[in-house]
A and B are shown apart, each in its own frame.
Chain A
Amino acid sequence: MLDSITSLDLLGADILTTLLFLPSLGALLLLAVPAEAKQAIRAMGLLFSGATLLVSAKIALRFDPATPGISGFRVDYPWMESLGIRYQLGIDGFALSLVVLTTLLTFCVLLVAAGQDLQRFKGYVVSFLILETGMLGSLVALDTILFYVFWEVMLVPMYFIIGIWGGKRRIYAAMKFFLFTLVGSLLMFIAILFLAIQHQKTTGILSFSLLDWMNAAKSNAWALTPGMEALVFGAFALAFLVKVPLWPLHTWLPDAHVEAPTGGSVILAGVLLKLGTYGLMRFALPLFPNATMKFTPLIVGLALVGVVYGAWVAAAQKDMKKLVAYSSVSHLALVVLGIFAGNAEAAAGAIYQMIGHGLTTGLLFMLVGVLYDRRHTREMADYGGVARQVPVTTTLFVIATLGSIGLPGLNGFIGEFLILAGVFKVNVVWCAIAATGMILSAIYMLTLIQKVFWGPVTQPVNNGLTDINIWEFLGAMPLVAGIVILGVYPGPVLDLLKPSITFVLEAARLHP
C-alpha cells in the first residue's frame, strides 16, 4: 500500500520533495475546481492531505534512526548558484516527528472542515494546503534561505485564515499576529545574510547551508566575536521566541486563537508554535553555543515566569479559547525551559512535549470548535451541564484535558516528566517553580470542564445541542489515539529522538 505511493512522486522526484509539494499541487489543482463544487473540493483536500500523510508515514517507516546528523533522505541541488543558495533538504528524527504531526493535524483539520458549514470553502482548503507546504518546508529545509522562504510562506495563508474565516475582531488579530511574527523574522533574515557574508569572509565559501554553518560554529571558523554572536543569536532567538511565544512576547497568541477559525487554531497551536521551539533547537543552539550559554539564565527566567504566568492568567479566563491559548503559553514555556536545561532528559522531554501538546491542544481547540459551531459562543457562561446532551464530545474533551494536564499514562505526562527530571538535575529550584504548572493546569482545565460540561443545564437552548458529527469524530479520533499510544508506549518515538538530541546537545556543547 505504502509503496504504491511512490507512483505519486512528482516526475520521479525524491521523497522529501514529494512530501513538500504534494499539498501545493493539490492547491494548484483546486484552483481549477469551481467554488460551488463543495463535494469535489472536500474530496480533493482530503485526497491531497491524506496522500501527504501517507508519504510522511512512508518516510517514518523507511527512516533509520541511526542516520547521523540531519542526513536522512538528503536532497541537495543548486538553486541560486551564484549566491550559494541551495535546494537542500534533509531530515532527522526530530524533524520527522514534527513532520508527521503536521501532516496528521492538517488531514484532521480538513476532515473536521468537511463537517463544518464554511463560507468560501475552496479558499479555506487551499489556504491549509499551502500552509502545509510552508510548515513542512520549514521542517526539512537545510539551506537557511530556503528555510526562511518557507517560514514566511507559512505566514501568508495563516494571515488569511484568521482574517477571512475568523471571528468579529479578526482583522485586528490577524494584523497583530502578522506584525509580531514579521518583526521577529525580519531580524532573523538580516542575521542570516550577515552570517553568510561572515562565512564567506572567513572560509572563502559562500554558503547558506545550515550544515556548513554548523561546521563553522564548531571551531568558530567564522570568527564571530562574542558581541556579534550575541547579536545574531538575539535575532534568531527573537524570531523563534515570538513564535513560541515566550512571555512577554505572547500577547498576540490569545487574540489570534480567539479570532481564528477552528482549523486555524488547531494548526496554530499544534504546529506553528512548535516551529519556534524547533527553530531554537535546530538553529539558535547549535550555531551559537557561546551565546546560548550566556543567554540561558535570561531565557530560563522568562520561561519560568511564562510557565506560572500563562497558567495563572489561563485560570482567570472566561472564554474557552483564550483559556486554552494561555495554557499553551504555559506549556510552551516549559518546552523552552527543557531546551535550555541542556541535558538529554530535558531535551527529549521538550520535543516530546511539542508533539504531545500538538495533539492535546489540537484536540482541545477542535472540540471547542464543535461547541462553537453549534452555539456561536466561546463564553463558558453560555454553557453549563452540556455533558448530558453531548456525551461523546464530553468524553473526548476529558481525555484531551487529561493529556494536557499530564496524567501519567497519557502523552502529556511523558514530556512534562522528562523535562522536569532534566531540569531537576540542573537546578532544583527551577524544577520546583516549573512543577507548579502541574497544580495550576489542573485548576484551569478542570474549571473549564466544570463550567462547560458539568452542573445543571442553565440555558435551555443547550437542551437541543447535537453531539459531535461523524466528520468531526473522524478528525478527532487520530488525536485521541495518539494521546493514548504516546503515553502508554513512548519507546519508539523516544528512540527516534535520541540521536537528534545527542546531535543538538553536542553541537551546542552541552553535555547530553
Chain B
Amino acid sequence: MNYPIWLIPALPLLGFLLNGLASLLYGAAQAQKRGEEWRKAHPDEGHGHDHGSHEAAHGAHDSHDAHGHDHGHHDTGPMLPWALRLFHGVVGVGTVGLATVLSFGILVPYAKSVMSNVEGARPIVETLYHWIQVGGLSIDIAFRIDALSALMLSFVTFVGTLIHLYSVGYMQAEAGYGRFFAYLNLFMFSMLMLVLANNLPMLFIGWEGVGLCSYLLIGYYYDKDFAAAAGKKAFVTNRVGDFGMVLGIFGILALFGTTDFSFVDMARQQQMASGTPLGVYAVCALLFLGACGKSAQVPLYVWLPDAMAGPTPVSALIHAATMVTAGVYLVARCSAVFLLAPDALTLVAWVGAGTAILAASIGLAQNDIKKVLAYSTVSQLGYMFLACGVGAFAIGMFHVFTHAFFKACLFLGSGSVIHALHHEQDMRAMGGLAKKTPATHLTMLVSALAIAGIVPFAGFFSKDQILGSAFAGGHYILFAVGLVTAGMTAFYMFRLYRMTFSGTYRGTPEQESHIHESPLTMTVPLWILGAGSVLTGFLGLPEVFGKNLMVEFLSPSVGKMHAHEVSHATEYLLMAVSLAVAGAGIFLAFKWYTGQDAKFTPGAAPEDIIASPAAHAFFEKTGTLGKVVANKWNVDEGIEALVLSPFRKIGTFLWRGFDALFIDGLVNASAFMVELTGDLVRFFTTGNVRNYALTFVLGVLGFTLYIWMR
C-alpha cells in the first residue's frame, strides 16, 4: 500500500482539531452554566460595575515547596460524561495509533533497505509545497525519511502511542480530559514535523510547536499558580535557546546557501559557500544554544524540573522520552558541520558532562519522586551530548533511543505509584509498595537497572559505549566525570527504589487501605516499556561482542569522528570499571536506605527518618554543602537575583523614568513654550479640529496664490 508521508503528522493534527473543538464547545457550555448560576446567586454584583480591590490578586502565590506537585481532582469541574470521554479517548489514541501503524509501514521496508546496502542508502524526500520563497530563501514543506529520522520516528510513535493509551486510565477522572488529549495530539503532530522535516526552518516549526505543547501541558492545571509559572518558565527559557537557533539557521544559510538537509552532505564534503573557522564555530555554538534550551542543558536546564507540574504522562512523553531529546537530534543531524569545528564539539562535550554531573548531584537529595526523575533526565541528556561532543554521534543517538524506553517506563511507573497513593509524590511518605503494586514494582526495577547501567539491561550498552568513546578519544577528564555521574545515577535510582518499594508503608493505615495497582491501560504500557528497557540494548552491542547494528544503521546520516581504537582488553576493563561503579552506587543506596523506618510526618527535615545512621553521619559531615545541593545549588535564586530582578527594575525605570519623565517632559515643556508664544499659536493647541481644518485650507490657498503670482 502506498500513502504519502504527510499523512503521519496529519493524523494527530486531525485528532487535535476534533478533540480541541469538542472540548472547547463543552467547556464553553459548562462555563456559561456556571456563570449564570453565579450571577443568579449574586444579583447585586452585576458584572461590569466592579472596581474591586487589587489586593486580592497579590499574595496568592503558592509557597515554593508546592512546586511540582501533580495534583489531580481539580475544581475545574466534574468528570466528563462517558460518551464524551469515549470520543476523546478514541480520537486521541486512534489518530496517534494509526499514525504509528503508517510510520512503521514506511520504516520497516526502509530500514531493511538500509541494512542491505548501507553505502547506497538514499533518503526518501517528499515535497508538499513551497513555504517561503523570497530573495535567496527557498524553504519547502518537505518530509524526509533517512536513517536518523527513521530512528526518531520509530520510538516517538511507539512510545507516544503507549503513553496515549496510559493516559486513558491515568487522566479519566479529569475535567480537562478532552483538552489534555487535544494538547497531546498537537504535541505528536509537532514532534512528527520536527522529526520528518527536510530543512531547518521546517524543523523549527516542530521545534517551537513542541515547545508550545510543553507550555500548555505543564500549565495543564492552569488554575494553579505554580503550574502557570512553570509553563511560562519553560517557554521563555526555550525561547532563549531558540534565539540562538534562529541565528544558527541564518548562519547555515550563509555557510551553505541552503537550509535543506543537503547541507549535511555539503559539509561532509567540505563544500562551503563561504565561511571562516570562527564562523563555523559560531554557527555550531548558536545551534547548540538552541539544543541547550530544548534539551535542558546548563545553563538553560532550569525549566525542566519545574515542568514536572504537568501530569505524569506528559513528563514521560515530552519531558523524558521525546521532546527533550530533540536537541541531541539537532546536533546529530548537523554532525557533519560540528565536525568542521572541533572547538564546538569540545564545547558540546563539556557542557554535556557538566550538566550530567550537576543534575545528578541534585538528584541525590530530592524527595519528590518526579523531581528525582526530572534531574535524572537532565543528567542523562548531558550524557548524550557528551557522546556527541567526543564525536560518537551514533552512540549518543543510541542512548536517546534506549533512554526513551527506560525513562518513559520510570516516569509512567512513578505515575502509577502516584495514582495508587492518590497524588502523593513525596517518597518519604511511601515505602513498602512492592507487594501492593507488583507490576509497577517489577517494571520500575527493570528500568532502574537499565538506567543504572547494569548488564544486560539497555542502559548498560549505551552508557558504557559513551564512556568508552570518551576514553578512547583521550578525554580522560570527561571520562572520569561520566564515571562519577554513573555512580551517582545508580545511587539515586536505588535510593528512589528503596524509599518507594522497600520496607513498610509510612502513611496512615487509612491511606494504606486505598492503595491499589493501576488498571490495565496503565500496566500494559509499563510491561511493554519494561521489555524495551531490557531488549533495546542489544541493538547496539559494543564491537567486542559483535556487530553494532545501531552504529551501522545510522552511518549514512550521522557523521563520525576518526575512530580511535582501543584494545579489547581495555574495553573489557572499562566495562568492568563502570559496572563496579554502578554496583557501588546501588550497594550504598541499599545500605543507607534500609526500608526500616518510622512514620512520616510532613515537614520533617529531609532524610531524618528514612536514612540509616551511617547515612546520617555522612550528612552531618557535608553540612551546608548538603543543604545547598538539596536546594539545587541555589541556581533559581541566583537567576532571580542576577537576571530577572534587574530586568524588571530596568523595565520599570525605562517606562516611568525615561518615557514618562524625560520624553513626555520634553514634549510638555515644548508645548508650554509654544503656549507662551501667544494666542496665534495657541490656536493650534485648543484641540478644535475646525480651526485646524481652517488652517489647512488657508495654507492650501496661500500656496495656490504663491504659484499664481510667481
A residues whose Cβ falls under 8 Å from a Cβ of B? 80, 82-83, 152, 156, 159-160, 163, 171, 174-176, 178-180, 182, 189, 193, 206, 248, 251, 254, 309, 312-313, 315-317, 343-345, 348-349, 373-377, 379, 381-382, 384-385, 387-392, 395, 402, 407-409, 414, 417-418, 420-422, 424-425, 428, 431-432, 435-436, 438-439, 442-443, 446-447, 450-451, 453-461, 463-467, 489-491, 494, 498, 512
Chain A positions within 8 Å of B659 at CB level: 251, 254, 313
Chain A: which residue is nearest B226 at the CB level? Answer: A455
Complex Cα gap A180–B664 (Å): 11
Complex Cα gap A390–B35 (Å): 9
Chain A: which residue is nearest B652 at the CB level? Answer: A316
Q: C-beta contact mask, B163-183 vs A, less than 8 Å → 1, else 0?
A: 000000000000000000000
Which of B236, B650, B651: most chain A CB closer than 10 A?
B651
Partner of A251, one of B56, B130, B667: B667
Chain B positions within 8 Å of A159 at CB level: 689
Partner of A432, one of B204, B247, B654: B247
Is the CB of B82 closer than 8 A to any CB of chain A?
Answer: no
Whether the pair A388, B235 counts as a contact (CB closer than 8 A) is no
Given known A179-B671, A375-B50, contact A424–B254 (CB-CB < 8 A): yes
Partner of A459, one of B27, B32, B50: B50
Chain A: which residue is nearest B253 at the CB level? Answer: A421
Complex Cα gap A468–B565 (Å): 67
Chain A positions within 8 Å of B247 at CB level: 424, 428, 431-432, 435
Is the CB of B225 closer than 8 A to any CB of chain A?
Answer: yes
Whether the pair B38, A467 counts as a contact (CB closer than 8 A) is no
Given known A248-B663, A461-B52, contact A443–B223 (CB-CB < 8 A): no
Complex Cα gap A251–B670 (Å): 15
B residues whose Cβ falls under 8 Å from a Cβ of A? 24, 27-28, 31-32, 34-35, 38-39, 42, 45-52, 54, 56-58, 60, 76, 129-137, 201, 204-205, 207-209, 212, 215, 219, 222-225, 227-229, 231-232, 235-236, 239-240, 242-243, 246-247, 250-251, 253-254, 647-648, 650-652, 654-655, 659-660, 663-664, 667, 671, 684-685, 687, 689, 692-693, 696, 699, 703-704, 707-708
Whether the pair B648, A315 counts as a contact (CB closer than 8 A) is yes
Whether the pair A381, B57 counts as a contact (CB closer than 8 A) is yes
Whether the pair A461, B45 counts as a contact (CB closer than 8 A) is yes
Complex Cα gap A392–B601 (Å): 44
Partner of B48, one of A376, A408, A424: A376
Chain A positions within 8 Å of B647 at CB level: 312, 315
Given known A388-B76, A494-B132, contact A420–B212 (CB-CB < 8 A): no
Whether the pair A156, B689 counts as a contact (CB closer than 8 A) is yes
Given known A376-B48, A454-B223, contact A490–B132 (CB-CB < 8 A): yes
Whether the pair B667, A381 counts as a contact (CB closer than 8 A) is no
Within the complex, what minimum Cβ distance (angstroms) separates A506 from chain B?
A: 14
Chain A: which residue is nearest B692 at the CB level? Answer: A182
Given known A251-B659, A343-B135, contact A315–B225 (CB-CB < 8 A): no
Whether the pair A382, B52 counts as a contact (CB closer than 8 A) is yes
Given known A251-B667, A395-B24, A489-B129, contact A178–B243 (CB-CB < 8 A): no
Complex Cα gap A178–B58 (Å): 38
Complex Cα gap A317–B215 (Å): 23
Other 20 A-B pairs with CB < 8 A, given A189-B699, A418-B137, A453-B222: A156-B693, A160-B689, A206-B707, A344-B134, A373-B48, A381-B54, A387-B222, A388-B223, A389-B35, A409-B209, A435-B247, A439-B240, A446-B232, A450-B231, A450-B232, A455-B225, A458-B57, A463-B34, A489-B131, A498-B134
Within the complex, what minimum Cβ distance (angstroms) separates B435 from chain A?
A: 39
Complex Cα gap A490–B201 (Å): 14
Within the complex, what minimum Cβ distance (angstroms) separates A318 from chain B?
A: 9
Within the complex, what minimum Cβ distance (angstroms) separates B246 from chain A?
A: 6
Within the complex, what minimum Cβ distance (angstroms) separates A465 from chain B?
A: 6
Within the complex, what minimum Cβ distance (angstroms) separates B175 from chain A?
A: 10
Whether the pair B45, A460 counts as a contact (CB closer than 8 A) is yes
Whether the pair A490, B243 counts as a contact (CB closer than 8 A) is no
Whether the pair A182, B654 counts as a contact (CB closer than 8 A) is no
Whether the pair B35, A374 counts as a contact (CB closer than 8 A) is no
Chain A: which residue is nearest B56 at the CB level? Answer: A458
Chain B positions within 8 Å of A466 at CB level: 32, 35, 47
Chain B positions within 8 Å of A182 at CB level: 684, 692
Chain B positions within 8 Å of A467 at CB level: 28, 31-32, 35
Chain A positions within 8 Å of B32 at CB level: 466-467
Chain B positions within 8 Å of A375 at CB level: 47-48, 50
Given known A313-B651, A424-B250, contact A418–B663 (CB-CB < 8 A): no
Which of B204, B231, B654, B684: most chain A CB closer than 10 A?
B654
Chain A: which residue is nearest B136 at the CB level? Answer: A345
Q: Is the interface of B mostly helix, strand, loop or mixed?
A: helix
Chain B positions within 8 Å of A175 at CB level: 685, 687
Chain B positions within 8 Å of A309 at CB level: 654
Chain B: which residue is nearest A322 at the CB level? Answer: B655
Given known A387-B222, A439-B236, contact A494–B134 (CB-CB < 8 A): yes
Within the complex, what minimum Cβ distance (angstroms) separates B402 from chain A?
A: 31
Whether the pair B133, A491 counts as a contact (CB closer than 8 A) is yes
Within the complex, what minimum Cβ distance (angstroms) separates A122 from chain B?
A: 18
Whether the pair A316, B655 counts as a contact (CB closer than 8 A) is yes
Complex Cα gap A365–B48 (Å): 18
Complex Cα gap A423–B562 (Å): 38
Q: Which 7 residue pairs are nearest across A and B when measured between Cβ atoms?
A: A344-B135, A316-B651, A454-B228, A424-B250, A381-B57, A408-B205, A461-B50
Complex Cα gap A80–B247 (Å): 53
Partner of A436, one of B132, B134, B243, B687: B243
Complex Cα gap A389–B33 (Å): 10
Whether the pair B205, A454 counts as a contact (CB closer than 8 A) is no
Whether the pair B663, A463 counts as a contact (CB closer than 8 A) is no
Chain A positions within 8 Å of B24 at CB level: 391-392, 395
Chain B positions within 8 Å of A388 at CB level: 31, 76, 222-223
Chain A positions within 8 Å of B207 at CB level: 408
Complex Cα gap A374–B46 (Å): 10
Whether the pair B236, A382 counts as a contact (CB closer than 8 A) is no
Whether the pair B201, A464 counts as a contact (CB closer than 8 A) is no
Whether the pair A379, B54 counts as a contact (CB closer than 8 A) is yes
Given known A312-B651, A313-B651, contact A494–B133 (CB-CB < 8 A): yes
15 sampled A-B residue pairs with Cβ under 8 A = A175-B687, A312-B647, A343-B135, A382-B52, A382-B57, A389-B31, A408-B204, A418-B132, A421-B250, A450-B232, A454-B231, A456-B224, A463-B34, A464-B45, A490-B132
Chain A positions within 8 Å of B48 at CB level: 373-376
Chain B: which residue is nearest A414 at the CB level? Answer: B132
Partner of B60, one of A174, A428, A455: A455
Complex Cα gap A236–B134 (Å): 29
Within the complex, what minimum Cβ distance (angstroms) separates A83 from chain B?
A: 6
Chain B positions within 8 Å of A442 at CB level: 235-236, 239
Complex Cα gap A219–B539 (Å): 71
Chain A positions within 8 Å of B667 at CB level: 176, 180, 251
Chain B: which residue is nearest A490 at the CB level? Answer: B132
Within the complex, what minimum Cβ distance (angstroms) separates B302 from chain A?
A: 15
Whether the pair B236, A446 counts as a contact (CB closer than 8 A) is yes
Within the complex, what minimum Cβ distance (angstroms) separates A179 from chain B?
A: 7
Chain B positions within 8 Å of A317 at CB level: 655
Whether the pair A384, B57 counts as a contact (CB closer than 8 A) is yes
Partner of A407, one of B27, B135, B208, B236: B208
Chain B positions within 8 Å of A460 at CB level: 42, 45
Chain B positions within 8 Å of A408 at CB level: 201, 204-205, 207-209
Chain B: which residue is nearest A406 at the CB level? Answer: B208
Complex Cα gap A492–B707 (Å): 46
Chain A positions within 8 Å of B231 at CB level: 446, 450, 454
Whether the pair A463, B38 counts as a contact (CB closer than 8 A) is yes
Within the complex, what minimum Cβ distance (angstroms) separates A459 from chain B?
A: 5
Within the complex, what minimum Cβ distance (angstroms) separates B82 from chain A?
A: 22
Chain B positions within 8 Å of A456 at CB level: 60, 223-225
